[in-house]
A and B are shown apart, each in its own frame.
Chain A
Amino acid sequence: MTKQEFDKKMLELQRGDEKAFEDIYNATHRGLFAFILSICRNYHTAEDMMQTAYIRLRTTVASYRAGSNAYAWLYTIAKNATLNELAREKREAPSDMEDGQERYGSYTMDDEGAPVTALMNKVLNDNERQIVTLHVIAGFKHREIAEMLDKPLGTVLWTYNNALAKLKRELEKEGADET
């Protein structure tokens, strides 16, 4: 779904067209789920956050203005909801747990049979994972990612290339180890 088509569907949703929501969902749910998963790295949290994101999209659709970037809108909602949830989880975690332990401790995504994904989760930082996911999996252009994440295009390009180079290095290293 193009940006213009998404914009049109948002306006239809504003008028209460339930079919428009279904179209938006079908066109965005896979990419959005991957994006949320790249932030939280927990399947169940990602599931909840995806639900939250779509509910928020519906509840705030009245304030959407024609011509705005609907993709950026949806992804920002999802990102904020997920970061808030992670912050809440961190606050509620036992105090004797070391920093970061709760996130990796609750990481339940099954990466078996998905070596590149596993490696991405292992070697890339949050920012790199998000950019790689948005470009490779969700199919956004770097310019669009820069808009969504409110970062300069140069920064997005540099981070993306750097992330892929890291992955390449690690994969080559693993290949060399195996031989």
Chain B
Amino acid sequence: MKLKDIKNKLKAEQSQVRVPDMLGRVQKAPINKLLSGETPAQAFQKKLAIRLLVTATALLIVAVFCFGAMMLHAGNGEAQPLCYAVIRAQSETGEANFDLVTSGDLFDVVCVDQSTGEKMSLLAISALHELKSTDKVAIAVICDDRTVATNVVQSLKEELVATYSGQGELTVQTSVNAQSEIELLKQRIEALGGQPKEDIAELVEIVAALI
């Protein structure tokens, strides 16, 4: 047998060998996603830069949302105007007057007994617990914002009626920014050593500082 025959036989045999088609597999290999003619290091840096950019963008979006939420919260939580209220409870035994300064929240209220100057919470006023249906109870509210004043007077009335535990129905008279009450407030400020003003908002601020 000639060497040429061996070569030809070998060639013929090898041409019969089924060669697997790897083209598709190689082109679809996941690593190819990283590489487009660049070195792995360059691809890594590019990927890292994209990740950093995405992270920074996400953080920026979160920050914008937080800032927006804070602004919204600040807008909603805008300080309510201060209101002055006086509760007068007249019974057979005498009269009790209480000054209140509130921004509308009855849990955050300064309540002062006019006769003693003692500060207490609204619910701790014993006189209000001992009211009788025959007692004359009046609530007067003075506030620059009439809407807030109306809400405050309504809340106070509801609170008093809820606190009342006596027989019969308790009658509570209410008034908002009544001129007579404004005059009484001016007198109260003078009694406390202050200088009354004409503006309602200023009057409330002065009494809030004095009691």
Contact = CB atoms under 8 A, between A and B. Distances in A.
A29 B19 contact: yes
A61 B14 CA distance: 29
Given A16-B36, A114-B16, A136-B10, A59 B31 contact: yes
Interface in A44-102: 47, 50-51, 54-55, 58-59, 61-63
B contacts with A: majority SS: helix
Interface stretch (B22-30, B134-142, B159-167, B181-189): B22-30
Contact of B26 (A51, A62, A172): A51
B14 A15 contact: no
Contact of B37 (A14, A25, A54, A116): A14
A33 interface: yes
B12 to A, nearest CB: 9
A171 B6 contact: yes
A132 interface: yes
B73 interface: no
Interface string A111-147: 0011111001000000000001000110000000000
A30 interface: yes
Contact of A18 (B1, B27, B39): B27
Interface in B56-72: none
B26 A168 contact: no
Interface in B115-136: none
A90 B37 CA distance: 35
A172 B5 CA distance: 12
Interface residues of A, number: 39
A139 to B, nearest CB: 9
Interface string A28-39: 011001100100
Contacts of A51: 22, 25-26, 29
B32 A58 contact: yes
A168 B20 contact: no
A40 interface: no
Interface of B: 1, 3, 6-7, 9-11, 13-14, 16-17, 19-20, 22-23, 25-27, 29, 31-32, 35-40, 42
10 contacts: A25-B22, A25-B23, A25-B26, A33-B19, A37-B17, A50-B22, A51-B22, A54-B26, A117-B13, A168-B3
Interface of A: 13-16, 18, 21-22, 25-26, 29-30, 33-34, 37, 47, 50-51, 54-55, 58-59, 61-63, 113-117, 120, 132, 136-137, 164, 167-168, 171-172, 175
